[in-house]
Amino acid sequence: MDSPSNSPPNPNKALNVDSNQSRSLPYFLQSVQLKYVKLGNYYRMSNLLNLCLVPLLIAALLVHASKMIFEDFHRLYLHLQYNLVLVLASFLFLVFGSTVYLMARPRPIYLVDYACYLPPSHLKIRFCKFMEHLRLTGDFNESSLEFQEKILQRSGLGEETYIPESMHYIPIRRSMTAAREEAEQVMFGALDNLFANIHINIKDIGILVVNCSLFNPTPSLSSMIVSKYKLRGNIQSFNLGGMGCSAGVIAIDLARDLLRVHSNTYAIVVSTENMTQNGYFGNKKSMLITNCLFRVGCSVVLLSNKSSDKQRAKYKLLQIVRTHCGADDKAFKCVYQEQDDDGKTGVSLSKDLLAVAGGALKSNITTLGPLVLPLSEQLHFFLTLIRRKLLNAKIKPYIPNFKLAFHHICIHAGGRAVIDELEKNLKLTREHVEPSRMTLHRFGNTSSSSIWYELAYIEAKMKVSKDDRIWQIAFGSGFKCNSAVWQALRNVKPSPKNPWEDSIDRYPVTTVN
């Protein structure tokens, strides 16, 4: 008996038709259809295992992949769960630190604009007319007149400085009314110039600081300004007196501190001096010098802490360094208001003034240097100090090259001797001291406002470029040396009614040594 065969059916055999047997056409077609059905069932049964295993394999792979993904997410969840406190603590610390930094960061202070008072031409005083007035008062002996004339010729002042209206009279008007008139004329004149150049709402001025050393009436000078311009009732108003020629920088410092506390406001700083009641009409020579140096002047500065004012502001305040040497008796009395033996009041200047000023300057620049000097200069200064103090090396103290830190320097125009001393000690060029010398020549010693007449000179000469640094340095009774550092925010052009606009073409001039 033949065993069954596992080989596939032979299609040729299936299609073989006996030639001797007669078949109809429908039967033939049915046989062909049956042949393909059998063939398909054969192949289906032969690959049944493969057809079943492929879906199972795919399903197994999907399950495995899902399990791995689930395990990864589970591990991630556990990791985050175990470190949730750390993550939250880090986030809160970041938020807190950013908040503290933004709140504690000093507000930038911008100098929007400033103005200096230019007295009318009829207040100019020539040397010969000034000396004639002194003679006509009858208060001075011949020796005092000769001394004042000598000081005047060597002072560095020119023939176009100004004295107040009251001192053009004979006898000189020294009343309280005349002194108030002088104060109103210079302060309101400078403020009117500023408000004409910068359009702001008067009610937006939240801080007012006025400094005048020798004239302090009641109501105060700051109250006179509030009354004149109808400033708002809650304005922070301050009146500084008796602080000498460096009080302008002190007033800026006070305004800066207030602007850091009171947000989104303006500060006005007014710096002036009053001559009407403060001339000396005696014969003590140490008290006669001020008659020859001091002249009429006033400056008004508009400061802002508004970020929107950065675009129109001229300068940004970088540093203020104040040095007070009042603990030393010699320094305290080198500029001293007192009465002479005849009971006449005046300001006495000691012969130690230049030495005291040099010591105060040294202390001031020692503090200022690390804030503004390049690293190379700081290192040189530090190494020299170590050699002198620790190794007892007999070498001169190193004076840093401040010309590397500043593009322009405004030295208080207190007198020719003061400017000469700083030019020598700081090794400055003639160009650096030109603004101070020319301000002294054109306007005289205008006390605390002189540094602003000097900056106005630099602007009138079109020398202030973007990012330039300006150093203002002033000396005052007490004894004090104060510095302010500004950075130009753009190429600065002189504002309208610049005090030099009628004379800048004639400067610089050669001064008498």
Q: Of the listed 245, 292, 325, 334, which one is catalytic?
A: 245
Place of tokens 């470029």: 465
Q: Of the listed 274, 408, 432, 482, which one is catalytic?
A: 408
Q: Which pairs from 131-140 meet CB under 8 Å and 24+ separation?
A: 133/167, 133/168, 133/170, 133/172, 134/291, 136/170, 137/170, 137/171, 137/172, 137/281, 139/281, 139/282, 140/281, 140/283
253: closest CA among 323, 298, 320, 324?
Answer: 320
Task: Provide the 8-state DSSP code for 200.
Answer: -
Residues belonging to the chain: 513
Residue 79: active-site member: no
Residue 324: active-site member: yes
Q: Of the listed 193, 364, 432, 441, which one is catalytic?
A: 441
How many other C-beta atoms are found inside a 10 Å radius of the C-beta of residue 392? Answer: 7
First and final CA of the chain: distance in angstroms? Answer: 149
* 274, two tokens: 């009053």
Task: Provide the 8-state DSSP code for 294.
Answer: B
Residue 334: active-site member: no
Residue 408: active-site member: yes
How many other C-beta atoms are found inside a 10 Å radius of the C-beta of residue 216? Answer: 14
Q: Of the listed 274, 291, 445, 482, which one is catalytic?
A: 445
Residue 445: active-site member: yes
* 411, two tokens: 């030295």
Q: From its phi and psi, is residue 27 left (phi > 0), alpha (psi between -120 and 50) or beta?
A: alpha
Find the helix or strand (DSSP H, E) in which 488 lies.
Answer: strand 480-488
Q: According to the 3-state scheme, what is the secondary structure of 367-418?
A: HHHHHHCCHHHHHHHHHHHHHHHCCCCCCCCCCCCHHHCCCEEEECCCCHHH
Coarse DSSP helix, strand, coil percentages of the chain, rounded to the nearest 5 percent: 50, 15, 35
Phi, psi values for residue 485, rounded to 5°: -120, 130
Tell me the C-alpha distance between 457 and 450, whole Å. Answer: 11
Which positions ≥6 away from 267 have C-beta within 8 Å?
Answer: 205, 206, 207, 208, 209, 255, 258, 259, 302, 303, 304
Tell me the C-alpha distance between 261 and 257, whole Å. Answer: 7
Q: According to the 3-state scheme, what is the secondary structure of 360-379?
A: HHHHHHHHHHHHHCCHHHHH
Tell me the C-alpha distance between 117 and 500, whole Å. Answer: 10
The residues that are catalytic are 245, 324, 408, 412, 441, 445
